């Protein structure tokens, strides 16, 4: 089957309905385009778990704040379609804003608590935009499975909660973060970085790796683990938006005097120049983003 591009919800729904007929399992990979190897990994995971993969490409305005990069977010539909074709994707849905928000932003889906920490605190309304658009994409595609990257760890947890709460018949799959060979997490926003900034950004996976090693060496004090991350990022000249150690399911931040009991999400958001990057590891679960050379 060759790739088909759909621009309207009606046509995409009809194609997805047809694809699902005779019991075939459809997996959805929602993206904002500017597809990179991280998205390719999501598509492969989707293919491994289903019969048909659908990719959506939509830069969703409601998840951007008024001073964020909606207008400048990289858009490259031809390149994205080539990636999808290369990965054997057969259905691509790339709607207009009007198609996804026919009456404006009248209806919102909101996940409380989980969405209020971390990026939710820095980017008010961001996750409302995410959960609203994902609900719509699920409604149009009717997937059995949807695959999201763990680089956006909080997004993954918020969508898992939303899906469970709204009793949506979709199994949410999280895929581990894909990194460049030097450890930088893949992100469409890496395209904003100058070569100097690109080098500077490495402080993030380095700091996370250091924390993983300190955790492996039995450091359990939240203040000590976080303090070293903060210091490393500051030393590299990054402007920290937040660093946080949190419960990996409920995303409640640990207090500075708390100790990590079993697992903890170590999440970072920092500006490299004007570019905001995020990254994370789950201490007690994920390997270090950068392996020590021996």
Nearer to a copy of itself, 134 or 277 (CB): 134
The verdict on 166 binding a copy of itself (CB under 8 A) reads yes
8 A C-beta contact, residue 97 and residue 8: no
Buried b (16+ CB within 10 A) or exposed e, 115-125: bebbbbeebeb
Candidates 26, 34, 83, 168; binder of a copy of itself (CB under 8 A) is 168
Q: Are strands 239-246 and 264-272 parallel, antiparallel or unpaired?
A: antiparallel
Nearer to a copy of itself, 130 or 266 (CB): 130
**Angle 244-248-50 from CA coordinates, rounded to 5°:** 125
Q: Which of residues 71-100 bind a copy of itself (CB under 8 A)?
A: 100
Nearer to a copy of itself, 109 or 282 (CB): 109
8 A C-beta contact, residue 280 and residue 268: yes
User: What is the x/- site pattern for a copy of itself, positions 34-73, by CB under 8 A?
Assistant: ----------------------------------------
User: What is the x/- site pattern for a copy of itself, positions 12-31, by CB under 8 A?
Assistant: -x------------------
Q: Whole-angstrom Cα distance, residue 109 to residue 60?
A: 14
The verdict on 249 binding a copy of itself (CB under 8 A) reads no
User: What is the x/- site pattern for a copy of itself, positions 137-156, by CB under 8 A?
Assistant: --xx-x--------------
Candidates 7, 24, 48, 112; binder of a copy of itself (CB under 8 A) is 112
The CB-of-14 to a copy of itself minimum distance in angstroms stands at: 10
Q: How many residues bind a copy of itself (CB under 8 A)?
A: 31
The verdict on 106 binding a copy of itself (CB under 8 A) reads yes
Candidates 273, 263, 262, 259; CA nearest to 226 is 259
Q: Which residues are catalytic?
A: 39
For 112, counting Cβ atoms within 10 Å of its Cβ (0-12 exposed, 13-18 middle, 19+ buried), the class is exposed
8 A C-beta contact, residue 204 and residue 279: yes
Partner residues linked to 279 by β-bridges: 268
Q: Whole-angstrom Cα distance, residue 95 to residue 230?
A: 40
The verdict on 108 binding a copy of itself (CB under 8 A) reads yes
The verdict on 107 binding a copy of itself (CB under 8 A) reads yes
The token pair that represents 155 in the structure block: 């997004």
The token pair that represents 164 in the structure block: 């469970």
What is the torsional sign of CA 283, 287, 290, 294?
positive
Nearer to a copy of itself, 107 or 176 (CB): 107
The CB-of-249 to a copy of itself minimum distance in angstroms stands at: 11
User: Contact residues for a copy of itself (CB under 8 A)?
Assistant: 9, 13, 100-103, 105-114, 131-132, 135-136, 139-140, 142, 161-162, 164-169
């Amino acid at each position: 089957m060759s790739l088909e591009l759909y621009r309207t919800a009606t046509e995409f729904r009809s194609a997805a309905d047809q694809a699902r007929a005779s019991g075939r399992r459809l997996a959805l990979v929602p993206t904002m385009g500017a597809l990179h190897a991280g998205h390719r990994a999501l598509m492969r995971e989707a293919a491994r778990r289903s019969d048909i993969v659908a990719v959506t490409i939509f830069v969703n305005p409601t998840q951007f704040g008024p001073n964020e990069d909606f207008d400048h977010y990289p858009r490259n539909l031809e390149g994205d379609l080539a990636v999808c074709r290369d990965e054997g994707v057969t259905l691509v849905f790339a709607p207009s804003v009007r198609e996804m928000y026919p009456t404006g932003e009248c209806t919102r889906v909101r996940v409380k608590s989980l969405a209020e920490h971390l990026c939710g605190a820095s980017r008010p309304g961001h996750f409302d935009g995410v959960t609203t658009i994902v609900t719509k994409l699920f409604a149009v595609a009717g997937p059995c499975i949807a695959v999201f990257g763990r680089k956006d760890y909080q997004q993954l947890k918020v969508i898992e909660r939303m899906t469970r709460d709204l009793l949506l018949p979709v199994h949410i799959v999280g895929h581990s973060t894909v990194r460049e060979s030097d450890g930088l997490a893949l992100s469409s926003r890496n395209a904003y970085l100058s070569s100097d900034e690109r080098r500077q950004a490495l402080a993030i996976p380095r700091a996370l790796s250091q924390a993983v090693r300190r955790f492996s060496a039995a450091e359990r004090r939240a203040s000590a683990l976080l303090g070293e991350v903060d210091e490393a990022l500051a030393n590299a000249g990054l402007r920290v938006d937040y660093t946080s150690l949190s419960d990996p399911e409920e995303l409640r931040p640990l207090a500075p005097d708390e100790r990590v009991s079993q697992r903890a999400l170590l999440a970072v958001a920092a500006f490299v120049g004007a570019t905001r990057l995020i990254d994370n590891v789950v201490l007690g679960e994920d390997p270090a983003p950068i392996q020590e050379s021996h």
